[in-house]
Structure 1
């Protein structure tokens, strides 16, 4: 899970910890068991088939398979849950790409790797690396004979700040997987959140290198399209140049191009959202022209980016309404809110750091976004974890389970403009 997808503050493990405390073990188990049953089921796969989708990138957290207190002891329940998603896809003729989205020690500096800090300790601790190799050996053994698993995406958005570990680790991981499974494709993300490939060396056999291609006008603070976003004028030509820059490695090495993530967020303003659909359509057209395949991020959420979303009047949304309002007001949601409500705090900090440390440009995105990461998405997000828990206080276990029903396909809204754009593209690709 990511916090904009289901509405919690901070990192996934913080949400789980506070809900176990508030709901008790029985209520916690009933809620998450039902949530995982309905979040992606056969009805969801049917809908993707209707849009012409033939593959799904399935993101999962290492915590489904292993507890930090008992490393290297893998849990069958994690494999069972992954089987459930793969089977829902394969029964409808859809291939699965397995995406380890959150790694022990955290492979990048942000919340979406279930990281409560701004340090990616995975790259400096061999223990974490050993656990990931061990998990992928088990995953490869599990799925080596499954023809509906297209391949393995071992690390989502790695961010090795020094850049000298990622290449050797990929080679170690490839050797370990190939000792078990020589058939399935590896989908390897570039460094710096899947945008940088010069540190990876020569391409490995039977491997696809994947770029993530988020465009400035598609961010929550993006401007008009075409128009100015974050001080830069962006039109279709800029979108194409960015794509070509990010995929230069693939074109130089002759390896396939796969955009593992892309897609704008939507604001609720009809005019702005129409521009964002136009941005999406331009990206899809560029991918067709350059024979690039893609996976849209994301399929289902609570109304920001998904093809399918939980409606505002759903019981779950009403339960966490005050949390969502506070997250927006304080700018805690990195993907779905801006800093407009906390400029009085951030402005003086930004000015101080710029004045006292003008040469300080921390990895991966520089000074200003580093400050925002620490203040909005670590300090304030962690402080809000308790707010999320309190919104569930007093719920009986059965009532907690019923809240998860809000994520069932037949209760969700479908973004018709987004569906039309995807369906038009998949038809164009197969015609």
Structure 2
């Protein structure tokens, strides 16, 4: 296929006809700390040969032809592919691109194309960390990308490398240059987008760029006129889809209006400039029997209702969307690793510890540790009241505190404990652990998939 998707007014079009991209992102291994930290500890435990073997098999099993066939059978047409800059280069050898960098990325792009599925390549972790959160893999709570030109130069070079590789592949819908940037000054992000757009166009004039708003995809206030052939992207998570929501979600008129207001605010820029909208991330998290909550099924039904509410809002504006995420270990995925799999059996004690410590940054229930952290947050607030307006200001003292203490300091310290579960494993055992993520060994989240399939069938 040689007909590239492109932007035409308020639509993404294929051969002149509007196309709404609907799909999910890959991700969801679930580990402590930042990715490079847990990889570092696993390398110590496994040694280079077994380490390379395990991750090669893990990535191989994580998405196969069976996954793509299932995805396409639901009527979904786009997979967002998060990548870490470390897949392409090492910090001690910047600009020296790894020969194996495209191995699994090419494999997934080709598998998806075979099933008529587009892909969006998302730089989820850029050199220096483009945001202050754990998933940019910076190792701290500092977004150093914005204060060191070298990090930006390296990111441009990485995107030139990627664009050169995929410039003739029309099944790649486009490139998502930075996931959830957080530019405290707000002006550096639009300037970087102008730079990256020009750099990519110089080697690849065809592909759409999907440009996230500032402050985790929510703020376009400093953006000027839109860049050509670009889709601007928001992220639209609902507080009602997570533990401890503002109230029980009943689908009342007031609650629907609440979601409509939040989405309208995040997409005001796109409507003002007359461009398409891509919601690059959204979606509730779900409870499991292992959480020990008797009413877990009832809770999940309310979260499915939140999802249906959001999809109904997106349909009114022909919004393209990518739910977070396709596959994980039971937290949020469309399919998830069987609780009786080799991987879950191996690390189950550690998963229980993570839950008890509220170690995860993402969608955790912090009730077990509030008695510890609430007084600390109040102490911070009294000592420095300005912490409640510290960027990003929506976090408040509590979130700033647990990001640094639990999600950085404690999580990093526990990476070695997590890796210890893999000690002494043979290649055959490591293969079985990695194979836990293969489609045939996963469980389908049927209700979620029914909802997505029904939305995929809506007429544009």
TM-score normalized by the length of structure 2? 0.90
Q: Give the conservation status (yes or no) of the 8 Å contact 1:156–1:189.
A: yes
Question: Aligned to 2:364, which of 326, 337, 356?
Answer: 337
Q: Give the conservation status (yes or no) of the 8 Å contact 1:3–1:12.
A: no
1:175-324 → structure 2 map (5 Å cutoff): 175-222=198-245, 224-226=247-249, 235-268=255-288, 269-324=296-351
Q: Which residue of 2 aligns with 1:117?
A: 140
1:325-404 → structure 2 map (5 Å cutoff): 325-360=352-387, 361-364=389-392, 365-404=395-434
Deviations 1:200-224 (Å, cap 9, x if unpaired)? 2110000000000000111233255
**SS in structure 1 at match of 2:386:** coil
Moved more, 385-394 or 247-256: 385-394
1:33-182 → structure 2 map (5 Å cutoff): 33-182=56-205
- TM-aligned CA deviation for residue 61 of structure 1: 0.6
Q: Give the conservation status (yes or no) of the 8 Å contact 2:26–2:79.
A: no
Q: Give the conservation status (yes or no) of the 8 Å contact 2:27–2:325.
A: no
Q: Give the conservation status (yes or no) of the 8 Å contact 2:337–2:436.
A: yes
Q: Which residue of 2 aligns with 1:422?
A: 452
CA distance in 2, matches of 1:394, 1:199: 53
- TM-aligned CA deviation for residue 412 of structure 1: 0.1
CA distance in 2, matches of 1:341, 1:378: 19
CA distance in 2, matches of 1:320, 1:7: 10
Q: Give the conservation status (yes or no) of the 8 Å contact 2:58–2:435.
A: yes
Q: Give the conservation status (yes or no) of the 8 Å contact 1:266–1:304.
A: yes
Gaps of 5+ in 2: 1-24, 289-295
- TM-aligned CA deviation for residue 4 of structure 1: 8.7
Q: Give the conservation status (yes or no) of the 8 Å contact 1:3–1:333.
A: no
Q: Do residues 20 (structure 1) and 43 (structure 2) align?
A: yes
- TM-aligned CA deviation for residue 195 of structure 1: 0.5
CA distance in 1, matches of 2:52, 2:335: 25
**SS in structure 2 at match of 1:320:** helix
Q: Give the conservation status (yes or no) of the 8 Å contact 2:26–2:325.
A: no
CA distance in 1, matches of 2:245, 2:226: 35
- TM-aligned CA deviation for residue 295 of structure 1: 0.7
CA distance in 2, matches of 1:279, 1:339: 21
- TM-aligned CA deviation for residue 7 of structure 1: 2.4
- TM-aligned CA deviation for residue 54 of structure 1: 0.8
CA distance in 1, matches of 2:241, 2:86: 31
- TM-aligned CA deviation for residue 227 of structure 1: 6.3
Moved more, 332-341 or 260-269: 332-341
Q: Give the conservation status (yes or no) of the 8 Å contact 2:95–2:157.
A: yes
**SS in structure 1 at match of 2:49:** helix
Q: Give the conservation status (yes or no) of the 8 Å contact 2:373–2:398.
A: no
- TM-aligned CA deviation for residue 24 of structure 1: 1.3
CA distance in 2, matches of 1:309, 1:224: 28
Change in 2 beyond 3 A, CA 1:112/1:234: farther
Q: Which residue of 1 aligns with 2:292?
A: none
Q: Give the conservation status (yes or no) of the 8 Å contact 1:65–1:75.
A: yes
TM-score normalized by the length of structure 1? 0.96
Q: Give the conservation status (yes or no) of the 8 Å contact 1:220–1:335.
A: no
Considering only aligned residues, what root-mean-square deviation do their CA atoms show, in Å? 1.7
- TM-aligned CA deviation for residue 237 of structure 1: 1.1
- TM-aligned CA deviation for residue 289 of structure 1: 0.8
Change in 2 beyond 3 A, CA 1:212/1:43: same
